[in-house]
Amino acid sequence: MNYKETIDYLFQQLPMFQRVGSAAFKKNLDNIIALSEYLGHPNTQFKSIHLAGTNGKGSTAHMLTAILQASGLKVGLYTSPHYKDFRERIKINGAFITEQAVIDFVAQHKGYFEQLQPSFFEITVAMAFDYFAKQEVDVAVIETGLGGRLDSTNIIKPLLSIITNISFDHMNMLGNTLPLIASEKAGIIKKQVPVVIGETHPETKEVFENKAAEQEAPIVFADQHFRANLLKKDLISTVFDVYKDEELIYEELHLALSGDYQIKNLQTCLQSIAYLYDHFPISPASIRLGLKDLRTRTQFMGRWQVLGTSPTIICESAHNEAGIEYAFRQIQEMDYQQLHIVIGTVNDKDISKLLGQLPKEAVYYFAKANIPRGLSANILAKSAQEKGLRGKAYKSVAEAFQAAKQVAKADDLIFVGGSIFVVAEVL
């Protein structure tokens, strides 16, 4: 098989959450444990850092990766889902896994896959771990896909576990209360492995403390020690003064990401780095350098990304209640004449909450992402009209995006979001 045929095989033969939703979600770790054993336990052959959380884990993972790269290390990064290219999921020092490595991995192990019947995600995680082990990375930053306890990535024994925050998402699989969701995320806390929690929340704090105590894991809440004070921002970057226990430790720290929500992610990242000094040669200079060059070092994409000016076009992958709230709080602070919103979502989300957060003064362009899980644009448009949002349904994301660009004037703002899969189609 060539690369295209290999990718088609992965996408079409295997249950894939990205496409079909909860039907692809496994209720145990049996397959990934069997895959790891078959491959010679690659997950034990490199140092790792493990991240879970409802929002912010992607940004935090990229921050940590950029800093570790700037420290002269060979750094693996595993994230999901991908936007344009499957290989985005598996990177070393910002470079995607090679097409040949993907072809070889599938060709070599296809017979075993067909016997075991793993999911798409299980194979992808196994491929990442195998690649990182073979390439002898100094450390790999590993992001969970969904939840934590039953996530395929949860067979690593990391140097550090990180849980960014907890809010409502994937309730059909993780539970419909914050403590239940937190309990699933807390499943990544390992015996005597330190854990950083990004945000202190009264409903979830005790869940994490109890799990950490049970595992004899040192626990710290980043927002109780680190405070990032936003000094200035533009569409592509932010500048902070950072305090640790109220002492200024970084003056005018430049971060190559925009969005007020990066305050929390930066605090989580820096608290995590404080645990990693014992393991890696990280200096204040490498922290500054890594964060300033984050996008180029890691090929970060899809989060508050500027796609054009005159009109300003921004895409943002926020797709749950808390993420959407942050995104539109940010938009309210911007200067524009008219707001145009190209939006789509998936059919397993509670869209009434999402729609309730959207501004009524915007013009909407409703679209269905090109995946089986995509929610019909007509259903979305009808639900939106009931919430007082005005707009039109389009046959595709491309058509909706084109319509917005044709209507928008130079001083307008076009926002594309609602789903990672919608953003993927405009990148």
Domain boundary among 298, 322, 344: 298
pLDDT band for 146, please (50, 70, 90 cuts): confident
What's 212's domain CATH number? 3.40.1190.10
Domain boundary among 266, 282, 298: 298
**Residues ≥6 apart with Cβ < 8 Å to 353:** 168, 321
* pLDDT mean over 282-292: 98
Specify the residue for token string 């004449």: 337
Using the predicted structure, report yes or no on whether residue 324 has a pLDDT greater than 70: yes
pLDDT band for 171, please (50, 70, 90 cuts): very low
Q: Are residues 78 and 193 in the same domain?
A: yes
Q: Are residues 171 and 275 in the same domain?
A: yes
What percent of the chain is predicted at pLDDT more than 90? 77
Q: How many domains does the chain have?
A: 2
- pLDDT tens-place string over residues 69-104: 999 999 999 999 899 999 999 999 999 999 999 999
Using the predicted structure, report yes or no on whether residue 19 has a pLDDT greater than 70: no
What's 391's domain CATH number? 3.90.190.20
Q: Are residues 383 and 350 in the same domain?
A: yes
pLDDT value at residue 175: 53
Host domain of residue 371: 305-424
pLDDT band for 170, please (50, 70, 90 cuts): very low
Q: Are residues 86 and 115 in the same domain?
A: yes
pLDDT value at residue 371: 86
Q: Are residues 180 and 319 in the same domain?
A: no
Specify the higher pLDDT residue, 196 or 14: 196
Using the predicted structure, report yes or no on whether residue 173 has a pLDDT greater than 80: no
> For 189-192, which contacts have Cβ atoms below 8 Å and span 24 or more sequence positions?
189/161, 189/215, 189/217, 190/157, 190/158, 190/161, 190/215, 190/217, 191/215, 191/216, 191/217, 192/216, 192/217
pLDDT value at residue 26: 58
Specify the residue for token string 């807390």: 186
Question: Quick check: 373 and 346 in contact, CB under 8 A?
Answer: yes
pLDDT band for 27, please (50, 70, 90 cuts): confident
pTM, whole model, 2 decimals?
0.92
Q: Are residues 314 and 384 in the same domain?
A: yes
Q: Are residues 337 and 362 in the same domain?
A: yes
Q: Are residues 289 and 315 in the same domain?
A: no
**Cα separation, 377 vs 182, whole angstroms:** 32
Strands (E), 256-406: 305-308, 312-315, 339-343, 363-366, 390-393
- Mean model confidence pLDDT for the chain: 92
Q: Are residues 263 and 410 in the same domain?
A: no
**Cα separation, 364 vs 361, whole angstroms:** 9
**Cα separation, 29 vs 185, whole angstroms:** 15
Q: Is the C-alpha dihedral spanning 45, 48, 54, 57 positive or negative? A: negative
What percent of the chain is predicted at pLDDT more than 70? 94
Using the predicted structure, report yes or no on whether residue 23 has a pLDDT greater than 60: no
Among 227, 167, 225, residue whose Cα is nearest residue 196: 225
**Cα separation, 64 vs 45, whole angstroms:** 20
* pLDDT mean over 367-380: 92
Q: At 262, is the secondary structure helix, strand, or coil?
A: helix
Q: Are residues 376 and 400 in the same domain?
A: yes
Q: Are residues 274 and 420 in the same domain?
A: no
- pLDDT tens-place string over residues 237-278: 999 999 999 999 999 999 999 877 899 999 999 999 999 999
**Cα separation, 158 vs 166, whole angstroms:** 21
Q: Are residues 283 and 320 in the same domain?
A: no
**Cα separation, 408 vs 361, whole angstroms:** 14
Domain boundary among 298, 318, 345: 298
Q: How many helices (H) and strands (E) does the chain have?
A: 17, 17
**Cα separation, 401 vs 390, whole angstroms:** 16
